[in-house]
Amino acid sequence: MSFKKSLSHRLVKSEDLNHHGTLFAGRCAEWFVEAGFVAVTQFLPVHQVVCLKLHGMEFLSPIKPGDVIRLESSVAYAGKSTIMSYVKIVNRKTESIACEGFMTFCHVDEHTKPTPHNIQIIPDTEEDLELYNLAMEIRNK
């Protein structure tokens, strides 16, 4: 299967801020994992997916109140029962990447035991290939 990109948007409000007046990392993590989950559920049923590991959520620039952010997510790699997504958060005002990272989800049965999903991800663009290779590096660490 080829890569499919999911998009969502958020308005950063006062209740989303930390004591420095920028987006609270905990709130960002909530949105981040949700975006990664949505990308995975393009391939797997919602009730058969659990989050296994957050590989990193790196902030590249602060996100301020009133900013509208775009969360772009896609599946970057699929193992036997795991599936890894990549999320990039873009500040719509500057069009710069404010945060990015990878996370791994697991395909589970009705008893939440890992089960093979038979999904194969085939990169078909340079960007997809780059994400696939980065996911492979993270997976092999």
Sort 65 into a burial class: Cβ within 10 Å, 0-12 / 13-18 / 19+.
middle
pLDDT for 141 equals: 80
- Reported as a single tens digit per residue, the pLDDT across 4-27 is 789 999 999 999 999 999 999 999
- pLDDT value at 1 more than 80: no
Domain residues for 66? 5-139
**CA–CA separation, 1 and 87 (whole Å):** 19
In whole angstroms, what is the distance from residue 112 CA to residue 4 CA? Answer: 26
Q: Which residues contact 34 (CB under 8 A, 6 or more apart)?
A: 8
The CATH number of whichever domain residue 75 belongs to comes to 3.10.129.10
Q: Is the pLDDT of residue 57 over 80?
A: yes
> Global pTM?
0.93
The tens digit of pLDDT for each residue in 72-87 reads: 999 999 999 999 999 9
Cα separations in angstroms, 1 against 36, 47, 88, 134: 17, 21, 21, 18
Both ends of the chain: CA-CA distance in Å?
Answer: 25
Confidence of residue 3 (pLDDT cuts 50, 70, 90): low
For the chain, the domain total comes to 1
